[in-house]
Every structure is written in structure tokens, then in C-alpha cells.
Amino acid sequence: MGPRNNTRISEFFLLGFSEEPELQPLIFGLFLTMYLITVFGNLFIILAFILDSHLRTPMYFFLSVLSFVDICFTSTSIPKMLVNIQTQSKVITYAGCITQTYFLLLFAGLDDFLLTVMAYDRFVAICHPLRYTVIMNPRLCGLLVVVSGVISALHSLLQSLMVAQLSFCTHMEIPHFLCELNQVVRLACSDTFLNDMVIYFAAVLLAGCPLAGIVYSYSKIVSSIRAISSAKGKSKAFSTCASHLSVVSLFYCTILGVYLSSAATHNSHSSTTASVMYTVVTPMLNPFIYSLRNKDIKRALKRFI
């Protein structure tokens, strides 16, 4: 067996985007602005669901949970990066890095599963409208969220424990602004074959299966919409899915497209850019996508104003 990790490894160094001092205020201001927009935008969705009785439906329940997860997802990495820029420090403790990896995987997995659950919700609403309230009852909605959370928590716990078993030598610099799983594993000086296999297997299983569920749901939705005779009915049915489909496309394009391709080429700059897309940009855009295309959300906004 290879050497195990020990207490001599106490910290990592997050190199971030650039080491040039003149760019640090610009990076700090840009990411602080995006973080605040993300938090307040998603917080509005949550408050709208809580305060507006017209939004007490399964669709908006899942949307409010997604907004909460997006706030947590962004908060696992951006505040630490902002603190490092402000204090001119690149240090993150070993325990802090493992903890950050755990929560990044947890909330990324939850995002993935919630998008799948929301696709199922739209499938039931369009393909079985008369049975919608019976099928999508509060108990099932709560159960779907809990199961998604448990699976994501178990996966992130497994990955984090496996990283904790690795042995790290002298090269502690992570060419990133967060402790991303692949980047941390690459720093290990012990055998990482098992870690790599688990990472790839989990990526195929936990990203492929939800994606297959989304594709299946929308294939049934498209078939049902095509069967509607009136153009107005088709437009109304499609409009209920447009926002969710936009978020799904944005999420999977950033994760599966940009990130996986950059990981395959081992280009740290591309990987960092991809991480910004799915940890900051996507959670920031989600509230706008749902708000701009949703009359109920707009109506709730007018009530608040």
C-alpha cells in the first residue's frame, strides 16, 4: 500500500486567476458584484415563494430549493477567493480544502438532480395534467428533494474521504481559485488510479443518468405538445418549459462541454474559466432566466415593489 496522508500537510495555495497586483482590484470588484447579484437574485425567488400564495406549487417549490442550492454553491468558493484577494494571501488550510471540495460536490450534485426533478414535474404537468395535483403531492415533492440530497451527500462524502487518504508531498500549489476535485487529486504523490476511476464512474453515473431522465421527459413533452391542435395551446405548453430548458442547457453546456474538454486537455486556464461558468455565472443567471420569462414571478415582483 502507498503512503497515507499525515498531519505534516497543513495548507494548500490557491493561485487564482492572475498574480499581477494591478489586476487584483478588478477581479475583486467583478466577483464581488457577481456574487451579490447571485445571492440577492436567488434570495428574491425564495422570498417570492414564501410570501406569495400564488406560487405555492410544486414547480416553484423546486425552483426555490434550486435557488437556495445556488446560493450555497456559490458561497462555498467565492467568499474565500475574495478574502484571499483582500488579504493578499493564497493560503487555504488542508481541512478547509477538503471541506470546500465536499460542499462543491454536494451542491453541484444537488443542482443536477433538482434540474432532473423539475423536468419530471413539467412532464407530469403537460403529459398528465388531470392527475398533476395527485401525482405531484407535497409528500412526493419533499421526498424527491430529500433523496437528491442524500445521494449527493453520500457521493461528495465518498470523494472527500478518498482524497483524504492521498499522500501529498511538496507541490501544494493549486492552479485554481477553488479546491476543485481533479486539481487536488493531481497534486498527490501517491497512486491516484482508484480516485480517477471513482471520479470518472461517478461523472458518468451522476451526470449521465439525470441527463437521460431530462431527455426522456422532454421527448414525452414534445410528443404531447405536438398532439395539441391549437397553436395557442402549443405555445402555452412550451412556455412552461422554456425557462427550465434554458437553465438545463446552460448548466450542461458549462459542465459537460467546457469543463470536461478542458479537463481532457489538462489546461488549467480553461479549467478555471469553466469553473467560473458553472460556479458563478450559471447560478447568477438562473433567477433572471426564470423571472424574465415567467408572469407569476413578475407579478410577485410587482407586489413587492
Q: According to the model, what pLDDT value does residue 215 have?
A: 93
Q: According to the model, what pLDDT value does residue 267 have?
A: 58
| Spatial distance between the Cα atoms of 141 and 239, rounded to a whole number of angstroms | 22
Task: Please tell me the least confidently modeled range out of 66-80, 143-157, 221-235.
Answer: 221-235
31-42 pLDDT, tens digit per residue, is: 999 999 999 999
| Spatial distance between the Cα atoms of 193 and 171, rounded to a whole number of angstroms | 19
Nearest to 120 by CA among 130, 108, 128: 128
Buried-state track 191-211, b at ≥16 Cβ within 10 A, e below 16: ebeebeeebeebbeebbeebb
Q: Helix crossing, 138-164 with 58-75: angle to 10°?
A: 20
Q: According to the model, what pLDDT value does residue 241 have?
A: 83
Please give the CATH number for the structural domain made up of 11-304. Answer: 1.20.1070.10
In this predicted structure, the answer to whether residue 88 has a pLDDT above a threshold of 70 is yes
Summarize the confidence of residues 194-217 as an average pLDDT.
91
In sequence order, what are the beta bridge partners of 168? 188
Residue 39 phi/psi, 5-degree rounding, is -65, -50
- The count of C-alpha atoms lying within 13 angstroms of the C-alpha of 31, restricted to the half-sphere facing its C-beta, is 27
215-251 pLDDT, tens digit per residue, is: 999 999 989 888 877 777 777 777 778 888 888 888 8
